[in-house]
Amino acid sequence: MSFLQMPHPTAARRLFLGHSGLVLSGAAVALLAGKDALAAQSGGGAPQDIQILNTALGAELEAIAAYQLGADSKLLQKPVLDLAVTFQGHHKEHAEVLAKTVERLGGKPVLAKPSYNFPVSQLKSQADVLRFAAKLEQGAVSAYLGAVPLFGNRDLAKAAASILGDEAMHWAILRNALGDTPVPSAFVS
C-alpha cells in the first residue's frame, strides 16, 4: 500500500505501529542516536526491536523510491527537482541508520521492494507529484508521531522526534510549494 492510498494520517500511524507495536531496546536507542559505544555496552536487541526498526526502514525505502519516481518523471522544474532530491537524501540517511541499527542488533535489514504500487498514471504535472510527496510525508509524520510516546527510553523518543521533525518540515515545504498553507493547524495529528 502506498502512502497516497492511505485514507487518513491515523491509518498511516496504525499501519506503521501495527507492524510492530513494541518499544525499541536501549541498544537501538543508542544506535539511532549515533552512540555506538553506548549501544555496544547494551548488548544485542530483541526480535521485536528488529521488527519495529525494519518497519520504519521499509517506510523509508518506499519514500526513497517515491522521490526517485518524482525525479525521473521529468515533471519537476529545476528548483523543485533539487528539493525532491534533497528530501530523498534525508530519507536515504534515515534508511542507512535504521539498516545499520538492525544489523548491529543481529538482524537482517529489509530490502527495498522491486516495485511499489505508486499512482503513476495520476502523476501528470508537477503539482500532482508534489501532492503525492506531501501525502507521503504526512503519513510519515503521523507514523512517527504515534511512535514517539511509545518509547520507554527517552533517548529513543528524542531520536524518533528528530526524524518526525524532518518529515514535518518536508510536509510543510511541499504544502507551501503547492500554494497551500504550510502549517494548516497548531497541532499535528
Domain presence at residue 182: no
DSSP annotation string for 89-128: HHHHHHHHHHHHHHHHTT-------S-----GGG--SHHH
Whether residue 148 lies inside any domain: the answer is yes
Domain membership of residue 44 (yes or no) is yes
Query: Cα(74)–Cα(80) distance, rounded to whole angstroms?
Result: 11
Which CATH number is 90's domain given?
Answer: 1.20.1260.10
What pLDDT shows up at residue 112?
Answer: 96
The answer to the question of residue 185 being in a domain is: no
In a domain, 186, yes or no: no
Question: Distance between CA 36 and CA 40 in Å, rounded?
Answer: 6
- Reduce the DSSP state of residue 46 to 3 states and report it: coil
Below-70 pLDDT ranges, the chain:
1-52, 147-148, 150-157
Give the model's pLDDT for residue 4. 33
Rg (CA), the chain: 16
Domain count of the fold of the chain:
1
In a domain, residue 184? The reply is: no
Burial of 114 (0-12, 13-18, 19+ CB in 10 A): exposed
Identity (one letter) of the amino acid at 79? P
CA–CA distance, 130 with 155 (Å, rounded to integer): 33
- Considering the domain boundaries, does residue 162 fall inside one? yes
| CB-CB contact of 120 with 147 (8 Å) | no
pLDDT at res. 1: 34
Residue 73 lies in a domain: yes
Distance CA 149, CA 157 (A): 7
Express each pLDDT in 39-52 by its tens digit.
444 444 455 566 66
Question: Which domain range does residue 40 map to?
Answer: 3-177
